[in-house]
Amino acid sequence: MPFIVSKVNVHVSEEQELALKTRLGKAIELVPGKSEEYLLLSFEDNCRLWLRGENDRPMAYLTVSVFGNESHAGYREFTAAVTDIYHDLLEVAPEDCYIKIDDISAWGVSGQYIDRRMFR
């Protein structure tokens, strides 16, 4: 299950949040085997973010956790798509949008522990 945590220093309206949800749901499909069906999202707006000593423009920091993609397939395309989404919807300039991708080797869901080494 992919999980995207989005922190931005601007207000996100309900309409923008719905658009983000929809477009991120499509973007995650650029990562093989991932889809909106299992995507978990968290949006934090009005965060106190500073970049290069300033906080006077829209900026974003995202953490994307992905299970079972050791080869990083699709990450380049996914990163470009997410950068475009935040630029289009929240006016975050590409150079002010940072995306951290975490490879998850183990996950717990539905009371089950899942380790990708079990699938080799």
Across the chain, mean pLDDT equals 95
> 19: which residues sit within 8 A by CB, 6+ positions away?
89
Domain boundaries, the chain: 3-119
CB 31 within 8 A of CB 75: yes
Residue 9 above 90 pLDDT? yes
Helix (H) or strand (E) holding 114: strand 112-115
pLDDT confidence of residue 1 = 82
pLDDT confidence of residue 117 = 74
Quickly tell me which residue has 């994307």 as its tokens: 64
CB 13 within 8 A of CB 45: no
Question: pLDDT digits over 89-102, tens only?
Answer: 999 999 999 999 99
Can you read off the two tokens belonging to residue 7? 């922190």
Q: What is the DSSP letter of 32?
A: T
Whole-number Å distance between alpha carbons of 82 and 23: 8
pTM of the predicted protein model: 0.93
Pick the CATH number of 3-119 from 3.20.20.70, 3.40.50.1370, 3.30.429.10, 3.40.50.300: 3.30.429.10
pLDDT confidence of residue 116 = 76
Range of lowest pLDDT (32-36, 41-45, 105-109): 105-109
Query: CA nearest 8: which of 98, 103, 76, 80?
Result: 98
